[in-house]
Structure 1
């Protein structure tokens, strides 16, 4: 509709850097909330599709890490759409019809078609330039999670906390559980902050499919990634300052 109207312009609501900046109010509020409790997080976790959800929470804390704070900041994505964990850093379009400017980002290729997992909001081929750069700089690390682990985590969270999470949100929940168990094994006390980004009340059919055993994990073949990236050249890694 926007393309067909000369008086209308279309602005992407995710992925682009200005969206990350708008969303950072989430992290600024989280910092204030942590101050109210007299605490500060050791680990920060957010689900990552295009990046706005994750960066909204993590960006203000990334500023602290750049300035010396010791924090583990984790971006979590689906194993079936592993943009950060398996995609190269390259110039690519933010959309399949190639209307956006070219963006320097981790990408699986704008022609990439992900598996039909239930976390629809995380099935995006690229990652925001700001988030991509933070990963390149070692400020943020990326983890990928299989679908079955995320639904198991969602059930654990619902039974313990009373909230039904959206499948997208369950990716952050799954890594939060992993990090809590790791801290327990190491005998360490850690404050773990994650972005509970949405309820799953409209996703109950997905939970039913999980309970009925109709869901499965999906291992993305490297051949599929290579095919989607055949027309995209990775950017050279920046030289380290000496």
Structure 2
């Protein structure tokens, strides 16, 4: 489990332990890659890229172990397309056609799954939708990343993928409470973004939690921090319509509830939550370490 999530999301950790799992914060001293990352980044709170590296090493070294990816790659987006298929079936049943489709984006599986049937119509010229990816300003892969070949993990043991990336060595600020802590973006979504078929926006976490709180009070559902990125953008788009007088149907993905994220809500309510946006210099230092792939970039 990513160390920052291990610390910020103790209830998720305890649910896993309740069902018999042992949970280790990553990066750890239990793998060669974990020890290497800690040597290079002492005291780091980790990232999804670090945890992937350690999980792959553990699976490779232990007979009978398997590693199943949960985000980013094509087969995962295909699996997650059930989200979009069910959404579209529900909208079609009531004759509703969305103008804007919004999803949170970390690795990209949820957004990719949500938009899949709608993107099919868009690519075939049957309908036109505005599709918006919402990512954290602390880890802005699409809005500030490079479209290049990069490793999918911090330890550089996984294959290269062409995607929007901040560099496999980029580790987001520990203060970000949401789980969208991945240095890159799904190759499929990256290509769609590169081709101008989807848009992207980055939002600060204090604005995200403001939206989450309002949503909870209005709808009675406490949203997960990740979901609340999409909620923030949906609210912003609705406010734009209010100003212009336009009527638009906005669909967004509510990816989970926030009952395991009360530590983050507590920090927000206590005024202890802050925003961190990486500087251009920090990002450039990471870009400088991107792998050089002659003839492919």
SS of residue in 2 equivalent to 1:18:
helix
Count matched residues. 237
Partner of 2:8: none
- CA deviations on 1:12-54 (whole Å, 9 max, x unpaired) are 2211111011101110110000012211110000000000011
TM superposition shift of 1:115: 0.7
Answering whether residue 147 of structure 2 is matched by residue 92 of structure 1, we say no
**Which of 56, 59, 67 does residue 113 from structure 2 map onto?**
56
CA distance in 2, matches of 1:227, 1:91: 16
**Which of 91, 97, 111 does residue 40 from structure 1 map onto?**
97
TM-score (norm 1): 0.93
SS of residue in 1 equivalent to 2:103:
strand
**Which of 257, 266, 269 does residue 211 from structure 1 map onto?**
269
Answering whether residue 205 of structure 2 is matched by residue 144 of structure 1, we say no
TM-score (norm 2): 0.76
Root-mean-square deviation (CA), in Å? Answer: 1.7
Answering whether residue 44 of structure 2 is matched by residue 24 of structure 1, we say no
Q: Which blocks of at least 5 consecutive residues in structure 2 are unaligned?
A: 1-57
Moved over 4 A (4+): 233-236
Contact 2:205 2:274 in 1 (8 A): yes
CA distance in 2, matches of 1:235, 1:156: 47
Bigger radius of gyration, 1 or 2? 2
TM superposition shift of 1:11: 3.5
Contact 1:79 1:144 in 2 (8 A): yes
- CA deviations on 1:53-112 (whole Å, 9 max, x unpaired) are 111101211111222322110000000100000000011111111121100100001100
Per mean C-alpha deviation after superposition, the further-off stretch among 53-62 and 172-181 is 53-62
Greater RCO, CA 8 A, separation 6+: 1
Contact 2:100 2:129 in 1 (8 A): yes
SS of residue in 2 equivalent to 1:24:
helix
SS of residue in 2 equivalent to 1:169:
helix
Q: Which blocks of at least 5 consecutive residues in structure 1 are unaligned?
A: none
Classify 1:42/1:109 alpha carbon distance in 2 versus 1 (closer, same or farther; 3 Å): same
Classify 1:235/1:157 alpha carbon distance in 2 versus 1 (closer, same or farther; 3 Å): farther
Partner of 2:50: none
Partner of 1:116: 174
CA distance in 2, matches of 1:44, 1:54: 9
Answering whether residue 173 of structure 2 is matched by residue 173 of structure 1, we say no
TM superposition shift of 1:208: 1.3
